[in-house]
Amino acid sequence: MNKTEMIDHIARQADISKAAAGRALDALVGAIRTTLKKGGTVTLVGFGTFAVGKRVARSGRNPRTGEAIKIRAAKVPKFRPGKGLKDAIN
């Protein structure tokens, strides 16, 4: 499902216009992005938790040349599914 399909689905389920559904989806994604950028977590009970993880610096290899390279440490977004989501899938 892509963003357009998600907006269509939200509009149908919530009985709102596609424009309003698009704004709602953008607001949700923006709120998650802003919170993660500040180092916080976002928990949607029954769905899951978005958090920021840390990846340590490490060495790797350029697959084309085989040359050793250094990969910098980074913050990465992580998602941990909640019980309700796991139960819905299984």
Report pLDDT digits (tens) over 54-87. Answer: 999 999 999 999 999 999 999 999 999 999 999 9
Enter the pTM of the model. 0.80
Separation CA 23–CA 32 (nearest Å): 14
- Paired with 80 in beta bridges are 49
Mean pLDDT of the chain: 95
* Tokens 């949700």 sit on residue: 28
pLDDT in tens, 28-63: 999 999 999 999 999 999 999 999 999 999 999 999
Residue 85: name the closest of 50, 56, 59 by CA: 50
Superfamily (CATH) of domain 39-90: IHF-like DNA-binding proteins (4.10.520.10)
Two tokens at 76? 């990465």
* Alpha carbon separation from 65 to 36, 57, 61, 68, 69 (Å, rounded): 36, 21, 8, 9, 11
